[in-house]
Amino acid sequence: MDRIRLVGGNPLNGEIVISGAKNAALPLMIASLLTDEPLVLSNVPRLADVKQLERILENHGVDIAVHGRRRGESDGGGQRMTFHAADIVDTTAPYDLVSKMRASFWVIGPLLARCHEARVSLPGGCAIGTRPVDLFLFGLKELGAEIDIDDGYVVAKAPKGGLVGARIVFPKVSVGATHTLLMAATLANGTTMIENAAQEPEITNVAECLVAMGAKISGIGTRTLTIEGVEKLHGANVEVIPDRIETGTFAMAAAMTGGDVLLRGARPEHLQAALDILAKTGVDLTPEADGVRVRRNGNGILPVDIETQPFPGFPTDLQAQFMALMTMSQGTSHVRETIFENRYMHVAELARFGADIAVDGQVATIRGKDKLKGAQVMATDLRASVSLVIAGLAAKGETVVNRIYHLDRGFERLEDKLSRCGAEIERLAG
């Protein structure tokens, strides 16, 4: 199993091109199931999760093609891919495929909407909490679906004539359920209103894709989405938005190590809460025409308290990275995790660097240290993995991050991007 070796202490200086957002690319790929015409996506990141979803979609009968770069496109850009679901040959998403990635469960919405039936294994993914699918099933039932659980599979059937529009009020915000119900409602009979919908930029990217495919959606970017069902969707050409989590991750890496990094392609409006918090730590953030510049030259890191919230609040997917940054702050900070109940598994690994972190329920208290020391550490989930890399970049001496397949799920060419900015980092095979 591959590992990452790095030697800390080098400030980051240079430019990092932000990849396409994994959390937008996956539901956009799934949206191809809604039409028998080709859906062309550009700026698709090269990630293990993308490859895994390709296998799942191919199992349903989707033809997938990867295109070469067009004239003028840089080698730092993502892939351009065509997804063509001319015929759905199988409405079952099997356990051996779905268990590897939670987002693959979302195929249940398009399959049910287009084929009026679906049999999808209960999902897997990172071990950061139970993350139940009850809101997904609640919403599908509101659209008229009959739902049964059979031997670890969700078996869903639409009423005769297909799903029926309805008013769906989520008791709490769910990105996955919003994606799934939004896609399902596009082909339902009548009008659907989704209240307390997630507002993440990735939701907007998918909603705008669906509109380009012929869907009728209003309220995009708000807590209330209204979808007027149509009989058929068509193909479209859509670009995956830049990854705001990757943006925040590299911004925190630059903040922790010092230096001057331009995050090319970053859209600050997609993570303003996180950037506002980062500015309070003493980091200089400057929006530029082609991205965001992050600087910290000599000044210390100030302690700041955060609480994770749904968008537009501080993202839970940046919590581990921010905690790594706070381990070297000049004082005591607190992190309150409100989204997932088991997202502090990185705490024990950060302690191996010498970090002083105490956890009491949802709250972690971090007492900053002047320096960290390199260590052998183990990745436990996607975002925890990269927090260990950030800590290692700033720690004195050598760090080895084991079990990095988690990183490959969500970060494209991580070692290459960091090494180009002066980090001493390499992948060790085996």
Annotated binding site for phosphoenolpyruvate: 22-23
Q: Pick out the residues of the known binding site.
A: 22-23, 102, 131-135, 172-175, 317, 339
Q: Pick out the residues of the known binding site for UDP-N-acetyl-alpha-D-glucosamine.
A: 102, 131-135, 172-175, 317, 339
Quickly list DSSP for 200-243. Answer: -HHHHHHHHHHHHTT-EEE-TTSSEEEEE--S----EEEEPPB-
Nearest Cα residue to 205 out of 43, 55, 34, 409 = 43
405 alpha carbon, distance to own chain's centre: 16
Spot the catalytic one: 115, 126, 209, 421.
126
Tell me how far apart the alpha carbons of residues 366 and 221 are, in angstroms, rounded to a whole number: 34
Sequence letter at residue 121: S
Quickly list DSSP for 5-26. Answer: EEE--PPEEEEEEPPBPHHHHH
For the chain, the C-alpha Rg in angstroms (whole number) is 22
Query: Percent helix, strand and coil across the chain, each rounded to 5?
Result: 35, 30, 40
Inter-residue contact 17 to 76 (CB < 8 Å)? yes
Nearest Cα residue to 317 out of 392, 411, 254, 223 = 411
Known active-site residue 209: no
Inter-residue contact 357 to 333 (CB < 8 Å)? no
How many other CB atoms sit within 10 Å of the CB of residue 296? 23
> Would you please indicate which residues are annotated as catalytic (active-site) residues?
126
